[in-house]
Amino acid sequence: MAITDQPRYGYRGGGLDVSRHFFTVPAVERYIDLLAQYKFDYLRLHLSDDQGWRIAVPGLPALTGIGASTQVGGGAGGFYTDAEYRQLVAYAAARFITVVPEVDLPGHSNAALTAYPGLACPGDAKAQPYTGTDVGFSRVCTGKESTYTFVDQVVGALAAMTPGPYIGIGGDEAKTLSAADYTHFMARAAALVRQHGKQPLAWDDAASVGKGSPTLLGVWHPASQQPPGLDAQIGTAVKDGSKLVMEPADRAYLDQKYDATTQLGLQWAGFVSVQKSYSWDPDTYLGISLPAGAVAGVEAPMWSETLRSTDDLSTMLLPRLPALAEVGWTPAAERYWDEFQQRLADQAQYWQAQGLPFTRTTDVPWK
Ligand code: ACM
């Protein structure tokens, strides 16, 4: 027998938020194991947010000395040393997975601001350690040259410890910045990533940058919650050379509840059933027609506001992670929900053998 098979998209990512709750190196390795089982090839590690900074940066000791000491709900937090981060990169690489480090700027930056208050604009309130789950309130000062010195140092450190081609700079939900200040910041941050020999990845909010926009844009807004004009901006960014990683929250965010019975997770994007995470086409999700090749791939982000342990992660990843894997691998015309349900049900025996908890959703014929 001969099997001919190849992935539809080159970028098939998992995302892991280690900022809202910190996950240790062994916990991240268990997540990488799961990504490898389903042939994902990228891991985007969300290393900073309002609630914690999780990566050591030479010359900026307070980022971890102060910025890493918080997490949602008030636990101890934590961070990766250079050696620990490199261990994760090597563990992933041994399983054909490339790590994409992501720091979130210019919003989602409260932890950095607690560490280095000089990142704020004169007159902005002094940042306090934050352990809640609100979004959109923080900002670094986009008009100060010292802010770009900071970004340069952080990006330089990430570039030095990351063999992969991409560095994430965030760019989502900077709700307290003017459009002009936001665009100015994102264009300069993207340019700094390129100066360090890497390609910038940012959230689709950054489609507004125009020329010099990020190489990869993570499309996260659900179609029903798009800011006005976003589709058109994405279309322009694609014309200017950006590629899209499709991860719309109502299909791909694996932290969203399955249904009303789900204990963990959030539901701001609505319930994401297994069928919903499986039955969509990344090429046609947006309300604009895209040129061939505009979609680089698919990502399945796991945000951790409500998730504290590897069992929590597993309960939300399984059974939807394989659904997203197949969306990234198999042409839409060859995917059938009725048939996938049966194959997915068969996977449960492997999860059980590995001691991985999963959610017995009502839309799959579990045995
Ligand atoms: C996001 O969910 N704010 C990227």
Residue 210: pLDDT band (50, 70, 90) is confident
What percentage of the chain exceeds 90 in pLDDT?
99
pLDDT of residue 357: 98
| Catalytic-role residue among 173, 247, 299, 305 | 173
Query: Residue 194's closest CA among 236, 162, 147, 152?
Result: 152
pLDDT of residue 248: 98
CA of 220 to the centre of ligand 1 (A): 6
Domain map (residue ranges) of the chain: 11-354
User: What's the Cα-to-Cα distance from 12 to each of 96, 133, 159, 205, 241, rounded to whole Å?
Assistant: 11, 28, 21, 21, 20
In CATH terms, the fold of domain 11-354 is TIM Barrel (3.20.20)
Q: What is the pLDDT of residues 46-58, one digit of tens each?
A: 999 999 999 999 9
CA of 295 to the centre of ligand 1 (A): 19
Q: Is 339 a catalytic residue?
A: no
With contact defined as beta carbons under 8 Å apart, do 163 and 102 qualify?
no
Quick check: 90 pLDDT over 90?
Answer: yes
From CA 184, how far away is CA 296, in angstroms rounded? 25
Residue 212: pLDDT band (50, 70, 90) is confident
Q: What is the pLDDT of residues 269-308, one digit of tens each?
A: 999 999 999 999 999 999 999 999 999 999 999 999 999 9
The pTM is what? Answer: 0.97
